[in-house]
């Protein structure tokens, strides 16, 4: 009896069906990730008393009707960015080592001393909407980014936002990352993001006896 | 006897489907790499606000999600139409947030426990009171890194 030397062929016709089945399963159970957002750091839960000059605080409050008040003046959301930038970039300190040599503000002695000490205090009413809250946060982030971009352009010839984007990109090599990190940190130090949102009772030096 | 039989007219050669599995597998691998598993089904309305100065939320394994919003139609009869918190697959009160965070943190590997981010996926029409309470709870359990998850876009659209 003659035996065929050929191996019997595996029937691959249903392979496509199996693959389709898997494909459809993954299409149904997964989503393309699109999560973006605003990163913030909450203050630690400790009661500490800080003494800050009132001039170093920019008070922003949001009422129940989503209206904005900045330093006892009603503002529209569109104006907020410029007001915040003016406050941060003021550089009112005149002499000594805390003088801000890169600030381009109008050196108003009744506004913030230097960007390191400037604090934006943002309080919102319990009935204010979250959408408005995020908008205010976004506007504040814009003013910080604009100032940081300006300094990064001056020092390193590129935008701060671009540096950050490249730092977080997975394809950037470690060497480049290390350099970017030090640059990003130095720019951050020039304009640190001090947004306080707690219902903090910042007791100002002017009021305490 | 004719040696060469003429082919019948109109007899098209069959299209070879041998490479079809390869094509489909390619698609399959594409989808497997660019997508992620749905973790929980939403029980609240979740129209996120827009923001433009956003950062990507990388590394999904380091993120804990908290959803806030008005319960969807089918749950409104039971849970009312006030904004509620959803943790995993159930509604929760504000005071349960802390224990939830601790439980989720304990589930993660040791080396990630200090670098976790809490993503707040909050409906844009929710009120700030609830968010403030959640943030207070997060501070109590020392989960200080938060991410206000948004859509990328112009923040002008938030007030409609």
B1 min Cα distance to partner chain A (Å): 33
Q: Does the beta-carbon distance from A43 to B18 stay under 8 Å?
A: no
Alpha-carbon Rg for chain A, nearest whole angstrom, is 27
pLDDT score, position A59 = 86
β-pairing, A36-41 vs A119-124, is: unpaired
Contacts of A199 in chain B (CB under 8 A): 132
pLDDT category at A204 given cuts 50, 70, 90 is very low
Nearest Cβ partner for A19 among B28, B151, B156:
B28
Q: Which residues of chain B have pLDDT under 50?
A: none
What is the per-residue pLDDT across A74-102, written as a single tens digit (0 to 9) for each?
A: 888 888 888 888 888 887 777 666 777 77
Contacts of B24 in chain A (CB under 8 A): 16, 19-20, 23
Q: At what angle do helices A77-88 and A130-156 cross, to 10 degrees?
A: 40
Residue B35 to residue B158: CA distance in whole angstroms? 28
Contacts of A163 in chain B (CB under 8 A): none
pLDDT score, position B92 = 85
Residue among A169, A164, A157 at smallest CA distance from A181: A164
The residues spanned by each domain of chain B are: 60-152
Strands (E), chain B: 35-37, 50-51, 55-56, 63-69, 84-87, 90-92, 117-122, 145-152
A209 min Cα distance to partner chain B (Å): 31
pLDDT above 60 for A207? no
B44 secondary structure, DSSP code: B
pLDDT category at A166 given cuts 50, 70, 90 is confident
Q: Does the beta-carbon distance from B27 to A23 stay under 8 Å?
A: yes
β-pairing, A195-196 vs A119-124, is: parallel
A93 min Cα distance to partner chain B (Å): 30
Contacts of A137 in chain B (CB under 8 A): 51, 148
Residue A69 to residue B121: CA distance in whole angstroms? 26
Residue B37, helix vs strand vs coil? strand
ipTM above 0.95? no
pLDDT above 60 for A192? yes
pLDDT score, position A202 = 43
pLDDT above 50 for A208? no
Is the distance from CB of B86 to CB of B43 less than 8 angstroms?
A: yes
B48 secondary structure, DSSP code: P
Residue in this structure with the two tokens 């697959």, named with its chain if needed: B89
Nearest Cβ partner for A39 among B55, B140, B156:
B55
Q: Does the beta-carbon distance from B57 to A38 stay under 8 Å?
A: no
Q: Is A39 exposed, middle or buried (0-12, 13-18, 19+ CB in 10 A)?
A: middle
Q: Given CATH 3.30.420.270, say whether it is the number of domain B60-152.
A: yes
What is the per-residue pLDDT across A19-52, written as a single tens digit (0 to 9) for each?
A: 888 888 888 877 666 678 888 888 777 766 777 7
Best A25, A29, A33, A37 member to test B by mutation, with max B CBs in 10 Å, is A37
Q: Does the beta-carbon distance from A130 to B131 stay under 8 Å?
A: yes
The residues spanned by each domain of chain A are: 54-196
> How is chain B split among helix, strand and coil, in percent rounded to 5?
40, 25, 40
Residue A29 to residue B40: CA distance in whole angstroms? 11
Compute the average pLDDT of residues A119-145: 86
Is the distance from CB of A71 to CB of A58 less than 8 angstroms?
A: yes
pLDDT score, position A162 = 86
Residue in this structure with the two tokens 């009935």, named with its chain if needed: A127
């Amino acid at each position: 009896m003659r035996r065929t030397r050929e191996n019997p062929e595996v029937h691959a016709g249903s392979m496509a069906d199996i693959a389709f089945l898997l494909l459809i399963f993954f299409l149904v159970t997964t989503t393309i990730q699109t999560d973006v957002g605003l990163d913030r750091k909450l203050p630690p839960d400790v009661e500490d008393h800080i003494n800050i000059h009132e001039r170093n605080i920019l008070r922003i409050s949001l009422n129940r009707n989503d209206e904005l008040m900045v330093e006892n003046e009603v503002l529209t959301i569109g104006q907020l960015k410029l007001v915040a930038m003016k406050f941060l970039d003021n550089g009112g300190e005149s002499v000594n080592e805390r003088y801000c040599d890169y600030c381009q503000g109008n050196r108003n002695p009744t506004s913030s001393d230097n960007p390191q000490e400037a604090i934006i205090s943002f309080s919102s009413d319990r009935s204010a909407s979250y959408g408005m809250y995020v908008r205010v946060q976004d506007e504040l982030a814009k003013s910080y980014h604009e100032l940081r971009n300006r300094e990064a352009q001056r020092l390193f010839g590129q935008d701060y936002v671009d540096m950050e984007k490249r730092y977080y990109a997975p394809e950037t090599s470690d060497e480049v990352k290390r350099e970017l990190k030090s640059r990003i940190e130095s720019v951050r130090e020039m304009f640190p993001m001090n947004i306080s949102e707690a219902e903090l009772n910042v007791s100002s030096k002017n009021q305490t006896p | 006897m004719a040696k060469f039989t003429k082919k019948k007219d109109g007899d098209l050669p069959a299209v070879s489907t041998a490479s079809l599995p390869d094509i489909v597998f390619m698609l399959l691998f594409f989808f497997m790499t660019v997508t992620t598993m749905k973790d929980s089904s939403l029980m609240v309305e979740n129209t996120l606000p827009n923001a433009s100065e956003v950062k990507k939320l990388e590394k999904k394994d380091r993120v804990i999600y908290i959803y806030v919003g008005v319960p969807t139609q089918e749950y409104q009869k039971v849970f009312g139409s006030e904004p509620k918190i959803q943790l995993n697959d159930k509604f929760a009160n504000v005071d349960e947030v802390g224990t939830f965070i601790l439980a989720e943190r304990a589930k993660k590997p040791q080396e990630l426990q200090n670098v976790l981010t809490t993503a707040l996926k909050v409906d844009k029409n929710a009120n700030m009171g609830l968010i403030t309470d959640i943030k207070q709870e997060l501070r109590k359990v020392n989960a200080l890194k938060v991410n206000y998850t948004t859509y990328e876009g112009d923040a002008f659209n938030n007030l409609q």
